[in-house]
Amino acid sequence: MVEGATAEELALAAELPPNRWPLGPDSPIEAWYMDDSDEDQRLPHRLTPNQPCPAEALHALGVRVWALDADAYERGDPQLAAIRKVRGYSYEDRITITPEALPNYEEKIKGFYQEHLHTDEEIRYVLEGSGYFDVRDLQERWVRIWNKRGALLVIPEGIYHRFTLDTGNSITALRLFVGVPVWTPHNRPAEHVPSRSKYLASLGGNVEASAVLAA
């Protein structure tokens, strides 16, 4: 048991098994395999026909998701509080990304879309708007994860990923972190970064998978 956490808090913060994930067109989170088009990054980039990414596949990559009540945030959501306590997310701030709110918007959006990894989990809780996190799977395919209002997404340390807004051009999200936040991206190739080796080891130490994922 996490020190200081009650049984109720542990239950509220518990990870759902993939077969119960809130994943799909009518949910706060949807995921699919991307096409190879060079069109606007803010477009959906679905394959034809669409090929959804199963929750089990995302879970195997280390991604974790929750669907929360965004309306409850301002009045103090007990589920969010429990997740923060159990997972040790001691820091939070709020970021709004729109053409009006973010200086050098177009340049920044292109920078967010550069493939990179972090040395810590990346945790985002969408309060308003929506956007895409793309993650690499074991076959080097991009999986696009559409995060809408109420989605809480955890991207694991060491996974190659990128972010962009969708065509709505607006998102307000809570950023959570364990301890003092470090936002430094390590652009690909970053095989020398210890977090990369740690991530590959978490996949089971599969040598073939490691070779595929290497730059």
Instruction: Indicate the helix (H) or strand (E) that contains 85.
Output: helix 78-87
**Binding site annotation covers 122?**
yes
> Is the CA virtual torsion 48, 146, 178, 161 positive or negative?
positive
Query: Whole-angstrom Cα distance, residue 111 to residue 115?
Result: 9
**Binding site annotation covers 116?**
yes
**Binding site annotation covers 45?**
no
**How far does the chain reach from its first CA to its final CA, in angstroms?**
39
- Written as one string, the DSSP assignment of 160-178 is -EEEEE-TT--EEEEEEES
Ramachandran sector of residue 158 (left: φ over 0; alpha: ψ -120 to 50; beta: rest): left
Q: Which residues pair with 97 in a beta bridge?
A: 171
Q: Which amino acid is at 64?
A: R
**Binding site annotation covers 118?**
yes
Q: Which residues are annotated as a binding site for Fe(2+)?
A: 116, 118, 122, 161
Q: Which residues are annotated as a binding site?
A: 116, 118, 122, 161
Q: Which residues are annotated as a binding site for Ni(2+)?
A: 116, 118, 122, 161
